[in-house]
Amino acid sequence: MTAECFNRFSRYKSPRHRGKNNRMHYKNIDQSAEGSSQANNSEMTMEFYNRPSRGRPPGLKGKSIGLYYRDKMIKNNRYKPKSRIKIRPSTLNMIQKLILHPKCTEKKSYNYKLQNSINEDYGKQYNHILDPKFKRKFLSLISGNLQHKIEQDLTTKPLLERRESVDINLLNELNDKRLTSEYKKLLDFRKKLPAYQNKQSILDLINANQIVLISGETGCGKTTQVAQLILDYEIECGRGSTTCIACTQPRRISAISVAERVAVERVENLGNSVGYHIRLEKILARPYGSIVFCTTGMLLQFMQIDAALRNYSHIILDEIHERSIHSDIIITLLKFILPKRSDLKLILMSATLNSDQFSKYYNDCPSMHISGFTFPVEEFYLEDILKITHFKFPKEGKVGTWQKYLKKNINKEMELINHKALIESYYTYSNFINLYSVDLWEELLNPKSEDISFDLILDLTKHICLTQKPGAVLIFLPGLIDITGLHKLFLESDNFPQDICVFYALHSKMPTAEQKEIFDIPPPGIRKIIISTVLAETSITIEDVVYVIDCGKQKLSKFDIKNNLQTLDIEWISKANALQRRGRAGRVQPGICYHLYTKARAETLDQYPLPEILRIRLEEIILQIKILQIGKVDTFLATMLDAPDPKTISVSLQLLRQLKALDDQENLTPLGYHLAHLPLDPRTGKIIILAAMFSCIDPIFSIVASLSFKDPFYCPLGKEIDAIKKKIELGLNQFSDHIAICEALKRFEEIGYKGMKRSLCQEYFLSWNTMKLLSDMKKQFASYLYEMNFLRNNNPKDHVANRNSKNKSLIKSIICAGFYPNIAIVEKISGSNIKAYTVEKETVYLHPSSINHYAHNFPTPYLTYFLKRKSSKIYLFDTTCVSPIALIFAAPSMFIVKGQEGDLITIPNDITFICNEGAHLIEILHKKLDDILEFKINNPDVIAWGTYEGNILTAMIELLSDSDKDFELPEHRILPRYK
């Protein structure tokens, strides 16, 4: 190949009219070895918008037609470029040399195309897969089915084998334990629990049936006792060696706290007959004669490895009434497994509210009910609370102003009308006045009465502290922002001095170790006040809680199918939620529950919460269950307790096809095969594979670990500004939340001493426990990719796999490639808001948790993001500012047309850039890169940097580094705008 090929602009064919659409066809000069008989010419196609031919001037022919429409679209700002690409001549020369290197003339073909469907001749279709081990696994997966997989797994020898010596040892151990005074003392407590009192009935029911449903009210002891009763019975019957019980819990903290409690009751440490297994944390019990408490997500992973669950004798699904997506999927899969495993017992455990639905799903399986063991709980509703506290809601202001507002917001007006009708239809005015007062009637009619009032909560808490006996107060609020706001008011109030009140926050972003602090009982005279989300609603028992303040609302994530948007709205809880919250009081003594909503509103609440599978996107779960060879997704999901909307399934399948994880026949592609084996969102899974190919795994693993698990940054109540300052410092002026995360973890891992690590975490407002878990996750990622053959070893710090880890431009580009088309374009920076719009043309704002929320300007207007969610506004929660070159390489395609000021490079979603020089190089590099990445996906292997593929990747890295030069300008340093 000669350099002359690279110095010519693309040549275009004349546009032709086809049917109702005009298409411009053009050829680009592709590189090939000089004198080669096979030229790799590719025809790029651009589809214009529908328009009749009469819209153009008469007499235009051939190329003139295309030029006319090009100029018209430029004039109408259809392709108005937002940025100009400037590449230094030295960089262009370097890229030319890399591509023109003799190694780039190698005969090895990288430019094959996968077919879109699976035919019977699997081997012929995937003959380009060279690795026989990978090919065998892949073809076995796409050609199999769930029934075959279960039967195949059953042929493998299980761990649970009958061993008489083990049975005798387990029985002797249990009998010796029963003689100890400590065990007898704890047994006396257990005997008081209704679940233990129903011991014989429970065991008889399980022995006589393969599937049983045990429903029980809060406090009955089913969570801690049922598994123990089964284990002890099996050991007594001489079957301890063939007994292993998996008991699922909906949350991490539940699995840990229940395991610890059961171990205490069995007078042993975790790791003997009791263990737990949650993501990134585990203390495993022995493989026989044991109970393992795990999250539902972990059990689903166990099933992917062993569909027949050969290593378990009993499966207990606890808290199934919460209807998490993982528990619903497991319940469905077990209907396929149980007929093949007649020796496997399934125990479903639920609250009393909707247990019949689960029983009917399993062909009216037998069930039993256990009464609750709770002390009496007195309930007060809003009308009673207002009478106690004499609280007054703020008025709506001037009538004229309010009426003007209602005209602009018809939904709000209807809400207020419905609220008034609710009050007037439920209460009889005369009876209400006799019990309460006219003033209180007016307060209930005030629309503000259904809003969450922090002032009311403060007054009510003050009333509890001054008039009620000792006991902890548990306050339920929708989210972290509410918790932060209320806590700030508590600290600013003189009524809650820190010497007599101690405050705890409980939410999902807290690390597990910090969550466990809520169980600590304060010294006498100190009132513990816990402000929590729904996390404290089930499975955990905070023994000193006597008073519950229930706001009646929760944040519920839903998928808006119409707008293809995940929302997080504050909504009323269900009656099931209300009953669970009420049950938090009265666990160890009589309690009081204060509902901050009227009795009228309580009657209108839905009976049960909406199942998670009906309100979320399904991409990740589809890939996870595809590993189990379930066939068509819609057919499988239709067999669930509640089948998701077909439109939601369609949208998720479409995204997976766009990611090239599924083919047109809904079969896993080689990329989909890799992504399905990663316990990650498909987008983040793609990112770590790209990181392995570009040899920058350490920083990318840090970012992906945080996105898939938990943000390590936290804002201590009252120190929000200090926390964001430190986060911005870690951002290294890269305008990236993701860079801040990997820099934080980099510093954490470089410190050798635990004490210094804790000091670092304190200085930068990082959770030590979360940082430790994220570091462990990186090791898991390295193990996954090593097993897939993308890495040479399982060390995330390996120098070969991190040769490019210091290149921030590359890191941001890989993030962009994984998130694409999650792109937003900054439109306006004003006051405390940064307004942008996405490629879907929707207006979005940067969330205050993002460091870019505080920026004065940006090096480029383009932001890539992972999480977009609608609450009060549509917010982007994590963002990275990226260069035009990064966007071009992230896009699946690009095309070039001549413009008046230079070449116009356009990628999907009408994002266009002006490039004065080098556009043809970018186009050639884009195609070569796509070919190499596709080849590596189908033939997993470590990149050889001294060869053809290494030269192409190096050329791209040089181009990306050059394009990020604007980030280094003095005016592009983050100077925060603090509120």
Check if the beta carbon of residue 542 is closer than 8 Å to that of residue 536: yes
- What's the pTM? 0.75
Q: Are residues 279 and 427 in the same domain?
A: no
Q: Are residues 421 and 506 in the same domain?
A: no
- The tally of domains found in the chain comes to 4
Query: Does pLDDT of 36 surpass 50?
Result: no
Tell me which DSSP letter residue 606 carries: -
Q: Are residues 254 and 207 in the same domain?
A: yes
Average pLDDT over residues 289-309: 93
Task: Compute the CA torsion angle 154, 160, 165, 166 (nearest 10 deg).
Answer: 180
Structural domain harbouring 440 = 392-450
Is the residue at 404 inside a domain?
yes
Check if the beta carbon of residue 736 is closer than 8 Å to that of residue 881: yes
Partner residues linked to 875 by β-bridges: 845, 869
Check if the beta carbon of residue 896 is closer than 8 Å to that of residue 905: yes
| pLDDT bucket at 92, cuts 50 / 70 / 90 | confident
| pLDDT bucket at 63, cuts 50 / 70 / 90 | low
Query: Does pLDDT of 971 surpass 70?
Result: no
Check if the beta carbon of residue 40 is closer than 8 Å to that of residue 32: yes
Q: Are residues 565 and 544 in the same domain?
A: yes
Q: Are residues 560 and 660 in the same domain?
A: no
Check if the beta carbon of residue 511 is closer than 8 Å to that of residue 529: no
User: How confident is the model over 689-724, as pLDDT tens digits?
Assistant: 999 999 999 999 999 999 988 889 987 766 888 889
Q: Nearest Cα to 250, choosing from 212, 309, 293, 302? A: 293
User: How confident is the model over 872-914, as pLDDT tens digits?
Assistant: 788 999 999 999 999 999 998 888 888 777 888 988 888 889 8
Write phi, then psi, for 881 (nearest 5 degrees). Answer: -80, 130
CA distance 555 to 539: 19
Please state which of the ranges 552-566, 633-647, 735-749, 965-979 shows the lowest mean pLDDT: 965-979
Amino acid at 214: I
Query: Does pLDDT of 177 surpass 80?
Result: yes
Is the residue at 935 inside a domain?
no
Q: Which of 380-389, 605-614, 947-956 has the highest mean pLDDT?
A: 380-389
Q: Are residues 353 and 399 in the same domain?
A: no
Check if the beta carbon of residue 359 is closer than 8 Å to that of residue 215: no
Query: Does pLDDT of 347 surpass 90?
Result: yes
User: Pick from 338, 370, 402: which residue ends a domain?
Assistant: 370
- Give the CATH number of the domain where residue 566 resides: 3.40.50.300
Q: Which residues contact 554 (CB under 8 A, 6 or more apart)?
A: 476, 478, 533, 534, 570, 571, 573, 577
CA distance 692 to 792: 10
CA distance 287 to 158: 11
Distances (CA, A) of 113 to 122, 135, 765, 935: 15, 17, 49, 10
Is the residue at 829 inside a domain?
no
CA distance 585 to 473: 9
Q: Are residues 223 and 350 in the same domain?
A: yes
Token pair recorded at residue 18: 């086809």
Q: Nearest Cα to 587, choosing from 814, 969, 261, 277? A: 261
Is the residue at 52 inside a domain?
no
| pLDDT bucket at 746, cuts 50 / 70 / 90 | very high
Distances (CA, A) of 570 to 231, 410, 486, 552: 42, 19, 16, 10
Residue appearing with tokens 């008025």: 395
Q: Nearest Cα to 243, choosing from 310, 160, 306? A: 160
Is the residue at 646 inside a domain?
yes
Is the residue at 793 inside a domain?
no
User: How confident is the model over 512-537, as pLDDT tens digits?
Assistant: 556 667 788 888 889 999 999 887 78
Q: Are residues 309 and 325 in the same domain?
A: yes
User: Pick from 431, 450, 469: which residue ends a domain?
Assistant: 450
CA distance 789 to 131: 10
CA distance 392 to 155: 70
Q: Which residues contact 888 (CB under 8 A, 6 or more apart)?
A: 894, 905, 907, 913, 922, 926
Write phi, then psi, for 623 (nearest 5 degrees). Answer: -65, -40
Is the residue at 922 inside a domain?
no
Q: Are residues 428 and 531 in the same domain?
A: no
The CA angle 620-940-96, to the nearest 5 degrees, is 110
Q: Are residues 208 and 262 in the same domain?
A: yes
Question: What's the confidence (pLDDT) of residue 254?
Answer: 86
User: How confident is the model over 787-816, as pLDDT tens digits?
Assistant: 888 999 999 999 999 999 999 999 999 999
CA distance 652 to 630: 16
Is the residue at 209 inside a domain?
yes
| pLDDT bucket at 406, cuts 50 / 70 / 90 | very low
Question: What's the confidence (pLDDT) of residue 717?
Answer: 64
Q: Which residue has the higher pLDDT, 103 or 247?
A: 247
Q: Are residues 302 and 176 in the same domain?
A: yes
Please state which of the ranges 49-58, 632-641, 653-662, 750-759 shows the lowest mean pLDDT: 49-58
CA distance 708 to 147: 31
User: Pick from 450, 465, 487: which residue ends a domain?
Assistant: 450
User: How confident is the model over 236-287, as pLDDT tens digits?
Assistant: 999 999 999 999 998 888 899 899 999 999 999 999 999 999 987 889 999 9
Calculate the CA 899 to chain-centre distance. Answer: 43
Mind giving me the DSSP string for 412-452?
Answer: HHHHHHHHHHHHHHHS-HHHHHHHS-HHHHHHHHSGGGGS-
Crossing angle of helices 737-750 and 697-708, rounded to 10°: 110
Q: Are residues 634 and 600 in the same domain?
A: no
Distances (CA, A) of 868 to 231, 634, 842, 852: 46, 26, 11, 15
Supply the mean pLDDT for the chain.
83
